[in-house]
Chains A and B, each alone.
Chain A
Amino acid sequence: MDPLILSRMQFGANISFHILFPTITIALGWVLLFFKLRYNATNDSAWMRAYFTWVKVFALSFAMGVVSGVTMSFQFGTNWPGYMEHVGNIAGPLLAYEILTAFFLEAAFLGIMLFGFRRVSNRVHTLATVLVAGGTTLSAFWIIALNSWMQTPAGFEMRDGVAHAVDWWAIVFNPSMPYRLVHMLLASGLTVSFLIAGLSALRYLKGDRSESMWKALRTGVFTAAILIPIQILAGDQHGLNTLEHQPQKIAAMEANWNTGPNVPLVLFALPDEAAKGNKFEVTIPDGASLILRHSTDGVVPGLNDFPGNHPPVFPLFWSFRIMVGTGLLMLAVAWSAAFFLKRRHSLPRPLALLMVPMALSGWLATLAGWYTTEIGRQPWLVTGVLKTADAVGPVAGSHVALTLAVYLLLYVLLLIAYLGVLVHLALKAAKDGDTSPLPGVLNAALSQPAAGE
């Protein structure tokens, strides 16, 4: 098979697997800090129990993120040497800053955060939690900066086919960067709040009514209920930004084949690139014009403006709809759960049953969103600068096929094991309830065990 498509599939598989875990750790770090600070303020041990349940999920997710992230750093060289050859002067420093300022910070203080509870004072432990959470967020900042630069490059000039930096401020804060960063951080927050709400709902269904379950459940549901409308607004702004800078992506997302006013919003269709049209269309008249231009006769760009230079329509159209559909479902579930928790102090059983699979809704929406934006960049690797086909390495297709197959197998098995452990941890917590042994929390460090002790 063609090494280009195989390498793309491999990179897609690796980065899809990788992004699942940072999406959890970025926001979960802050949630753990919240649990910790609540405990410090109230002295209510249920907060600490919630902390100890979820810090295990954090540790496991972090490990999965680290090992899949190491894979990513090698992939650039093994499969995409053209990438660093052409834009290494831009991508290099951004990646270097990620490693130097964020990666080490997380890794060094993670040990203290996870295992240092009895070794350092409560204050230092809280500080370690802050540094780990801050490190994961900083990591996201640099990676999003680089990704956004590939979408909407700025602040550079080309010399002999190689990009050279001119203005680092413009490179980092390129036109789509602030929108993408906000969108991603909110996505992380939603993924975590639905994960916490979903696993707590599982505990609820198992009859667990312990204080730590309630605290986790409320935290998850209320955070989700607050974040989801903000995310919808942020997503809308991100879309308008894309319309301005990458109109061909919007045209493909909306499956709009001809530029013009009064463009309908396509709810359902099977886009057909060969026929340059949609089959089985279900539309809302003037909908797309209204959403994108805020007027019924607003002009929406169509694919006819970008012959041979637009992303594939079918995957973009559908991944975008999956993301939006999941988002709307999240809105409905989060708000009804928040209503019941606030007014009735209980969850109806059907809602709790629905919340359990919704624990993974954040993953689904995040992946669908990333597919939309990344496939939407094709055929370019760096928009207008480097085509994906020109960056692929000289490795034989058979080699890539072999490694791709093993990676896929490995990832499927690891995902099964990961989800199995999450359910196991939730069931174990449900069984223990408030009777699990609670560690003493001291404001001073315990003396370190001496040799022979």
Chain B
Amino acid sequence: MTYDWPTLLPLIFAGLMGLAILIYVILDGFDLGIGILFAAAEDTEQDTMIAAIGPFWDANETWLVLAVGLLLVAFPLAHGVILTALYIPVFVLLVGLILRGVAFDFRAKVPAGRKHRWNRIFFLGSLIASLAQGYMLGVYVLGLDVGIGGMAFGALVAFCLAAAYAAMGSAWVIYKTEGELQKKAARWLRTALVLTALGMAAVSLATPFASPRIFDKWFVWPQMLYLSPLPILSALLFLWLWRQTFHLPRPDDRHALTPFLTLATIFALGFAGLAWSFYPYVVPDRLTIWQAASATESLAIILVGTVVVLPIIIFYSFYAYRVFGGKATDLTYD
């Protein structure tokens, strides 16, 4: 491999896109999860849960736009292939995102009698969006062209990703609330964790068996040795966190953010595993990142902007999270 710009730029953009997807999954994961948990919460709890994500959800969703945007601008060929193949799931995802995004605002502004309706829509939209994302992941892992078995696998991953988001949501609730709701969230987390672990195991096993190429990347010596920390560490973290749920919340609410960070780490490990499996393909076994990439001069001009702007974005995102740090209080415009 030569290290000139035409080689490096697609690689850099693949990395950036991966980063955007990972950040999206972690950040929108917790607010989609809170939407799913709406089904299990009381009226007053729902208000607190909304207050815990109100100032953030919009910026969280922007990472999805960035991820799709990077796919669109850096790998236009792959963007077309992937999105036309996933036409219906993408549509379902969008309907879900539209419903939950607007329900968020409507529920606070409609006459009091209609609030329940928008609460239900918020739950449904969050659930639909999570399921659609999981289905797309499952089908993508199997190489996009799938039969009925692949669809069933997609449905399994859909269910498990929704559970994983619910786990993220519970962990966020543990961090942002107190009292009964916090205790309830610890129980939610325990259940959701089991399903999350199941889903990650399913994807981890299906990926190598769906493609001999990926199988060879994992199960050859000495790669196996270097890669072994990924699954082992994930499993340990799962176990540890599951045990923790029996002792949450801690006295004085210490380490309230730890469950969330642990889950985020698990997501990152799983994501690293997927990235290793698919590299260098952006469409599994069909298009490599170099085949799908835009012209070098176009990538270069985007990179200049990204290098300047991305650190600023990360900085002010942190600032926004800091402004709304601490336990969630009532959200008011004043």
Q: A residues near B, CB below 8 A?
A: 52, 55-56, 59-60, 62-64, 66-71, 73-74, 76-78, 81-82, 84-85, 88-93, 95-97, 99-101, 103-105, 107-112, 114-120, 162, 164-165, 168, 393-395, 399, 403, 406, 410, 414, 417, 420-421, 424-425, 438-439, 448-453
Contact = CB atoms under 8 A, between A and B. Distances in A.
Contacts of A99: 62, 65-66, 69
The 6 A-B pairs at the shortest CB distance, nearest first, are namely A81-B80, A92-B73, A111-B55, A77-B83, A439-B334, A88-B76
17 contacts: A63-B101, A67-B102, A78-B91, A85-B77, A88-B72, A89-B298, A93-B298, A101-B305, A109-B316, A110-B58, A111-B58, A115-B331, A116-B324, A164-B295, A168-B301, A410-B98, A421-B109
Given A108-B320, A424-B111, A449-B329, 7 more contacts: A69-B65, A93-B302, A110-B59, A165-B297, A403-B91, A451-B178, A452-B327
Contact of B253 (A60, A103, A451): A451
Given A66-B58, A89-B295, A421-B106, A96 B333 contact: no
B317 interface: yes
B210 interface: no
Contacts of B256: 451
Contacts of A85: 76-77, 80
B129 to A, nearest CB: 10
A78 B320 contact: no
A448 to B, nearest CB: 5
A118 B334 contact: yes
Contacts of B98: 67-68, 70-71, 410, 414
Given A84-B80, A108-B317, A451-B178, A92 B74 contact: yes
B305 A63 contact: no
A99 B73 CA distance: 11
Interface of B: 54-56, 58-59, 61-62, 64-66, 68-74, 76-77, 79-84, 86-88, 90-91, 94-95, 97-99, 101-102, 104-106, 109-111, 178, 252-253, 256, 294-295, 297-298, 301-302, 305-306, 309-310, 313, 316-317, 319-320, 323-327, 329, 331-334
A93 B73 contact: yes
A42 B123 CA distance: 44
Contact of B61 (A66, A84, A421): A66
Contact of A395 (B84, B109, B326): B84
A73 B66 CA distance: 10
A417 B84 CA distance: 31
